[in-house]
Amino acid sequence: MTATIDPTMTSISTPDPSPAAVLGRLRATFDSGRTRPIEWRKEQLRGLDRLLVESEAELLEALRLDLGKPSLEGFITDIAFVRAEIADTLRHLDRWLAPTRAKVPVKQQPGTARIHRDPLGAVLIIGPWNYPIQLVLAPLVGAIAGGNTAVVKPSEVAEHSSRALARLVPRYLDPDAFAIVEGGVEETTALLHERWDHIFYTGNGTVGRVVMAAAARHLTPVTLELGGKSPVIVDRSANLDVAARRIAWGKFLNAGQTCIAPDYVLVDRTVEAPLLARMADAVRSFYGPDPAASPDYGRIVNQRHFDRLSALADGDGAGEAVFGGTRDASMRYYAPTALRGTDPSAPIMQEEIFGPILPTIAVDDLDASIDYVNAHDKPLALYVFAEDAAASTRVVEATSSGGVCVNATLFHITVPGLPFGGVGESGMGAYHGRASFETFTHRKSVLTRPTKLDPSVAYPPYTGIKGKLLRKLL
């Protein structure tokens, strides 16, 4: 926050940083009407875009320090991704804001009906550590487009990215409308104590429940972008060369620390061995014989998560490593790893892995894969590889998940016209593209009736012929 000098005092003072004070400042801005004009919204979106362009080097360095993220990977997944969201929003915002007409039934004529998009007010965005730039700024695009003010709470785990956002955002966005609040559990708890007009949370289900419980105290609507175990189903008809490359790429991007990363593979046992052999080849072609030396492979975010991953891989029933398995705690390096012979009841199959370890389970046929998926929590993403169109169609229609990619991984989130969100344990609500705008606005119904005609039949007393007429009309 910018320091201000009180002329009656000799010391420099700063605005009260408490959540209540920050929220009060943002509410005053919203109540003033400043955020409603479309040109103000566009100006803020352009400012956010300039932040990403002019501060690209600083943000990429923060990502490297937090996650060991390769520069090009950081550019693609965090910088370019958010810039694409901004560009799509600027391209369509006029049309999204235009009132839409609704048909008025003949029995209720004369009159006109329209749907207006109203901003919600002051919103709270709580982000995770795995994509610490993308996953706070992409929702912020929707909040800005909707005409809201917003507090952004980055993850303290990605401390360098959090610090960079705290420095940069006030330089490029209206500081009376948008604020970055840093900190850990204590600060997040204090923020959740306040009454917001919407809370957008990305993270795990445990904290998601805390967020939802806090929101319930004020009947605040929430968007929960959670995670879960996103499966890959590999049918016997799959193009194994392509499947191996695309599964390996989606799994080992960001060292597996992606909420929609392939979490495990259900593979037809007739193609299990060749699929794993091709995946090993794909990993070598991506990262060379020693991924630890590759400039394109990331690191585990901290020691706690490194230890968690090691415990899962070493746990009973995890299976044997087909490739990878090496690790170095001093570097937080965990090699791209695939496991074979994983027991479905093993600890590694009971929680989201969120790291570069990929268990595989051989199944007898496509029905067995579908049955396995349907017996567990609904995933955030599901991937199916099959050249047989009937097989992929059956998976899409017989399973429930937040989203599906056929013969690909991750790429569905890059299509602005596809809402991104979970179902059941993997979350509620959606965003990206127009869905972000809709998340942060209210569909307000407006009916206008003329006053020239005001027939008395509409009013009591409803006796005699008046009552009979109304029964026929309605």
Q: Is the pLDDT of residue 419 over 90?
A: yes
SS3 213: helix
Q: How far apart are the first and last CA of the chain?
A: 60
Query: Which residues touch 199 (CB under 8 Å, ≥6 apart)?
Result: 123, 124, 126, 192, 211, 214, 215, 220, 221, 222, 223
Res. 285 pLDDT band, cuts 50 70 90: very high
Res. 23 pLDDT band, cuts 50 70 90: very high
Marked catalytic residue, from 73, 159, 194, 259: 259
Contact 404, 75 (CB under 8 A): no
Note the pTM of the prediction, 2 decimals.
0.93
Q: Is the pLDDT of residue 410 over 50?
A: yes
- Give 411's DSSP letter: G
Q: Is the pLDDT of residue 8 over 60?
A: no
Residue 361's H or E segment, with its range, is strand 357-363
- For the chain, the average pLDDT equals 94
pLDDT tens string 195-252? 999 999 999 999 999 999 999 999 999 999 999 999 999 999 999 999 999 999 999 9
231-421 classified as CATH 3.40.309.10? yes
The whole-number average pLDDT for the span 328-340 is: 97
What are the boundaries of each domain within the chain? Answer: 4-226+429-445, 231-421
* CATH number of the structural domain 4-226+429-445: 3.40.605.10
Q: Is the pLDDT of residue 4 over 90?
A: no
pLDDT of residue 382: 98
pLDDT of residue 473: 76
Marked catalytic residue, from 73, 225, 272, 438: 225
Two tokens, residue 254: 């960001």
pLDDT tens string 316-329? 999 999 999 999 99
pLDDT of residue 10: 33
- Closest listed residue to residue 196, CA positions, set 49, 382, 333, 27: 27
Annotated catalytic, 225? yes
Q: Is the pLDDT of residue 3 over 50?
A: no
pLDDT of residue 15: 55
pLDDT tens string 72-123? 999 999 999 999 999 999 999 999 999 999 999 988 888 999 999 999 999 9
Same fold, 4-226+429-445 and 231-421: no
Q: Is the pLDDT of residue 7 over 50?
A: no
Res. 12 pLDDT band, cuts 50 70 90: very low
pLDDT tens string 427-450? 999 999 999 999 999 999 999 999
Res. 11 pLDDT band, cuts 50 70 90: very low
Annotated catalytic, 351? no
pLDDT of residue 6: 36
Q: How far apart are CA 227 and CA 233, in angstroms?
A: 18
